C-alpha cells in the first residue's frame, strides 16, 4: 500500500512526477485543505489532477478538518472564533498539525485498504516530498520513523534520487506542468514582504480577510504585534502601494 502526502507545492509535485518516472505504483494521494490555501494552489490541484489522470495515477483526495460534531472547521474560522492568530505566529506549529497532518491521518485510519494492511501487521508506505536540500528537516522526521507502527515513511527525493529544489523545478517543467507556487495559507505569518504585497495587489479580498483576522485578534495579543509577529500586516501594508 503506497500513499502520498501531497502538500500542493514544488516538492510534492516533483515527487508525483518522480514516482511515475520510476514506475512506483501509488494507491492514494491526500491533500489537506485548511480552507485558506492560496488561489494558485487550488488551481494547481486541478491541473495536476488532469496530469495524474493522463498517467494512470489516482486523483488527489482532499481532506479537511472537522469538529467533534462533524462540521467543517477551517483554520480561518477557528482563529476568528478564538480571537487568535495561526499558531506559527507564536512560534508553534499546531495549526499544521491540526489542519494538515491530523485530517490526513484520520482519513487513512478509516480507509479500508490502509486498515487491511495494518490488520496484517504490516506498514503503509507513505511518500513524503523532502528534497535533498532539506537535510535537517529530513533527519528530524526520521527520528520518529522506527517508533511509527502504522507507516514506513519514505523520502525518495533525498534518499533515492538526490533531487534538490532546482531539480524539482526542472522535473516539473519537463513534465509540461506549470510551477505550483508556494503552498501556504494566505494569512501565514511566515509570508515574506513581497508575497504579502503580491497578495494585496492581486487578491485584495484575501488581504482584507487576513487583516480582519489580525484585527479580530489584536485586543488579545500579548507576545506578538500581528501576523508579522513583530509588526501588523494592516499597519505596515494597509496603505502601502504594491510594487
Whole-model pTM: value is 0.92
Cell of 179: 510551477
Q: What is d(CA 128, CA 227) in angstroms, rounded to the nearest whole number?
A: 29
pLDDT in tens, 73-129: 999 999 999 999 999 999 988 899 999 999 999 999 999 999 999 999 999 999 999
For residue 167, the number of C-alpha atoms closer than 13 Å in the C-beta half-sphere is 15
Of residues 3, 63, 78, the one with CA closest to residue 33: 63
Residue 207 forms beta bridges with which residues? none
Residue 136 predicted with pLDDT over 80 = yes
Chain position carrying cell 487576513: 210
Q: What is d(CA 214, CA 84) in angstroms, rounded to the nearest whole number?
A: 8
What is the b/e burial string over 197-206, where b = at least 16 CB atoms within 10 angstroms of the residue's CB? bbbbeebeeb
6 touches 30 (CB < 8 A): yes
Question: pLDDT at position 239, please?
Answer: 66
Chain position carrying cell 496603505: 239
Cell of 106: 484520520
Cell of 42: 487550488
Mean pLDDT of the chain: 95
For 2-174, CATH gives 3.40.50.620
Strand order across the 124-127 sheet: 60-63, 28-32, 2-5, 124-127, 151-154
Residue 168 predicted with pLDDT over 80 = yes
Q: What is d(CA 33, CA 71) in angstroms, rounded to the nearest whole number?
A: 14
DSSP character string of 171-196:
HHHHTT-------SBTT-TT--HHHH
Domain residue ranges in the chain: 2-174, 193-237
Question: pLDDT at position 141, please?
Answer: 85
**pLDDT level of residue 243 (50, 70, 90 thresholds):** very low
pLDDT in tens, 189-225: 999 999 999 999 999 999 999 999 999 999 999 999 9
Cell of 99: 489542519
35 touches 76 (CB < 8 A): yes
Average pLDDT on 144-159 reads 90
The share of the chain scoring above pLDDT 90, in percent, equals 89
Sequence-distant (6+) residues with CB within 8 A of 40 are 180, 181
Amino acid at each position: 500500500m503506497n500513499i502520498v502526502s501531497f502538500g500542493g507545492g514544488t516538492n510534492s509535485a516533483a515527487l508525483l512526477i518522480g514516482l511515475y518516472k520510476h514506475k512506483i505504483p501509488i494507491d492514494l494521494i491526500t491533500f489537506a485543505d485548511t480552507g485558506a490555501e492560496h488561489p494558485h494552489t487550488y488551481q494547481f490541484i486541478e491541473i495536476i489532477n488532469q496530469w495524474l489522470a493522463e498517467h494512470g495515477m489516482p486523483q488527489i483526495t482532499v481532506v479537511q478538518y472537522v469538529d467533534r460534531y462533524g462540521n467543517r472547521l477551517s483554520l480561518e474560522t477557528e482563529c476568528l472564533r478564538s480571537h487568535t492568530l495561526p499558531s506559527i505566529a507564536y512560534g508553534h506549529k499546531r495549526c499544521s498539525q491540526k489542519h494538515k497532518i491530523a485530517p490526513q491521518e484520520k482519513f487513512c485510519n478509516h480507509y479500508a485498504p490502509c486498515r487491511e494492511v495494518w490488520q496484517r501487521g504490516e506498514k503503509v508506505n507513505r511518500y513524503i516530498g523532502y528534497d535533498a536540500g532539506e537535510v535537517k528537516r529530513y533527519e528530524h522526521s526520521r527520528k520518529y520513523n522506527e517508533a511509527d507502527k502504522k507507516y514506513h515513511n519514505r523520502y525518495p527525493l533525498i534518499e533515492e534520487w538526490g533531487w534538490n529544489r532546482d531539480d524539482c523545478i526542472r522535473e516539473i517543467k519537463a513534465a509540461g506542468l506549470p510551477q505550483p507556487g508556494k503552498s501556504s495559507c494566505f494569512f501565514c505569518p511566515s509570508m515574506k514582504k513581497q508575497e504579502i504585497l503580491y497578495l494585496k495587489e492581486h487578491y485584495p479580498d484575501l488581504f482584507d480577510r487576513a487583516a480582519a483576522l489580525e484585527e479580530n485578534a489584536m485586543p488579545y495579543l500579548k507576545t506578538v504585534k500581528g501576523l508579522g509577529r513583530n509588526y501588523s500586516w494592516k499597519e505596515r501594508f494597509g496603505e502601502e502601494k504594491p510594487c
